[in-house]
Chain A
Amino acid sequence: MRFPLVFLLGLGIGLAHAPCPAHAHGAHQHGVAQLMVAVEGPTLTLRLESPLDNLLGFERAPRTEKERAAAEALLGRLKRGEGLFALTQAAECALASATVDAPVLQGGKAAAGHADLAAEWRYSCRAPDKLTGLRVLLFRDYKRLTRLEAAVAGPRGQRAARLSARAPDLAW
Chain B
Amino acid sequence: MRGLSALLALAFRSAWNRRLTLGLTLTAVCLSVTLLLSIERLRVDARTSFTQAVSGTDLIVGARASPLQLLLYAVFRVGGATQEIGWEAAAAIDRHPAVAWTLPLALGDSHRGFPVLGTPARYFEVFRYGDRQPLVFAAGRPYAGLYEAVLGVEVAERLGYQVGDRITLAHGGGEFAPEHADKPFTVVGVLARTGTPVDRTVHVSLESIEAIHLDWQGGAPIPGLNIPPELATKFDLTPKTVTAVLVGLKSRAQVFAMQRWVQDYRAEPLMAVLPGVALDQLWDLLAIGERSLLTISALVAGVSLVGLVAVILAGLNERRRELAILRSVGAGPRRVLFLLLLEGAGLTLAACVLGLLLSLALVLAVGPWLAAYSGIHLQLTWPHAAQWAWLGAVFAVGTLASLIPAWRAYRLSLADGLTPHV
A22-B70 Cα distance, complex, nearest whole Å: 14
A158-B272 Cα distance, complex, nearest whole Å: 14
Interface range, B side:
35 or more
Q: Which of A148-172 contact B (CB under 8 A)?
A: 151-154, 157-162
Binding site for A on B (CB under 8 A): 38-39, 42, 46, 55, 58, 66-69, 72, 78-80, 251-256, 259, 263-264, 271-278, 280-282, 284-286, 289-290, 293, 362, 366, 370, 374, 376
Contact A39 B66 (CB under 8 A): no
Q: List 26 A-B contacts (CB under 8 A).
A: A1-B362, A1-B370, A4-B39, A5-B370, A7-B289, A7-B293, A12-B78, A12-B79, A13-B72, A15-B285, A16-B69, A16-B80, A17-B66, A22-B67, A23-B67, A23-B272, A45-B253, A47-B256, A151-B274, A153-B58, A153-B256, A157-B276, A158-B275, A160-B277, A160-B281, A161-B280
Contact A8 B66 (CB under 8 A): no
Q: What chain A residues lie within 8 Å of B252 (beta carbons)?
A: 38-40, 153-154
Q: In chain A, what residue has the closest Cβ to B365? A: A1
Assuming the A-B contacts A1-B38, A22-B67, are A13 and B284 also in contact, with contact meaning beta carbons closer than 8 angstroms in the complex?
Answer: no
Query: B363 CB to closest chain A CB, in angstroms?
Result: 9
Contact A1 B66 (CB under 8 A): no
A155-B362 Cα distance, complex, nearest whole Å: 37
Query: A14 CB to closest chain B CB, in angstroms?
Result: 9
A152-B68 Cα distance, complex, nearest whole Å: 17
Assuming the A-B contacts A12-B78, A16-B79, A17-B80, are A160 and B280 also in contact, with contact meaning beta carbons closer than 8 angstroms in the complex?
Answer: yes
Q: Does A36 contact B (CB under 8 A)?
A: yes
Binding site for B on A (CB under 8 A): 1, 4-5, 7-9, 11-13, 15-20, 22-25, 36, 38-40, 43, 45, 47, 151-154, 157-162
Q: In chain B, what residue has the closest Cβ to A2? A: B366
Contact B78 A23 (CB under 8 A): no
Q: What chain A residues lie within 8 Å of B69 (beta carbons)?
A: 16-17
Contact A20 B68 (CB under 8 A): yes
A36-B42 Cα distance, complex, nearest whole Å: 31
What are the nearest 3 A-B pairs in CB distance? Answer: A158-B276, A160-B280, A40-B253
Contact A23 B293 (CB under 8 A): no
Given A5-B370, A23-B67, 5 more A-B residue pairs with CB atoms under 8 Å apart are A7-B289, A8-B286, A13-B79, A20-B68, A160-B281
Query: A154 CB to closest chain B CB, in angstroms?
Result: 8
A158-B280 Cα distance, complex, nearest whole Å: 9
Contact B282 A12 (CB under 8 A): yes
Contact A18 B277 (CB under 8 A): no
A155-B330 Cα distance, complex, nearest whole Å: 69
- From the candidates B58, B67, B264, name the one contacting A25 in the complex (CB within 8 A): B264
Contact A153 B274 (CB under 8 A): yes
- From the candidates A11, A20, A157, A161, name the one contacting B66 in the complex (CB within 8 A): A20
Contact A38 B253 (CB under 8 A): yes
Q: In chain A, what residue has the closest Cβ to B362? A: A1
Query: B36 CB to closest chain A CB, in angstroms?
Result: 12
A17-B71 Cα distance, complex, nearest whole Å: 12
Q: What chain B residues lie within 8 Å of A151 (beta carbons)?
A: 256, 274, 277
Query: A147 CB to closest chain B CB, in angstroms?
Result: 13
Q: What chain B residues lie within 8 Å of A158 (beta carbons)?
A: 274-277, 280
Contact A18 B72 (CB under 8 A): no
Query: B282 CB to closest chain A CB, in angstroms?
Result: 6
- From the candidates A9, A13, A153, A160, name the one contacting B255 in the complex (CB within 8 A): A153
- From the candidates B264, B280, B293, name the one contacting A159 in the complex (CB within 8 A): B280
Assuming the A-B contacts A5-B42, A22-B67, A158-B275, are A36 and B256 also in contact, with contact meaning beta carbons closer than 8 angstroms in the complex?
Answer: yes
Q: What chain B residues lie within 8 Å of A153 (beta carbons)?
A: 58, 252, 255-256, 274, 276
Q: What chain A residues lie within 8 Å of B370 (beta carbons)?
A: 1, 5
Q: What chain B residues lie within 8 Å of A9 (beta carbons)?
A: 78, 374
Q: What chain A residues lie within 8 Å of B278 (beta carbons)?
A: 160
Contact B42 A8 (CB under 8 A): yes
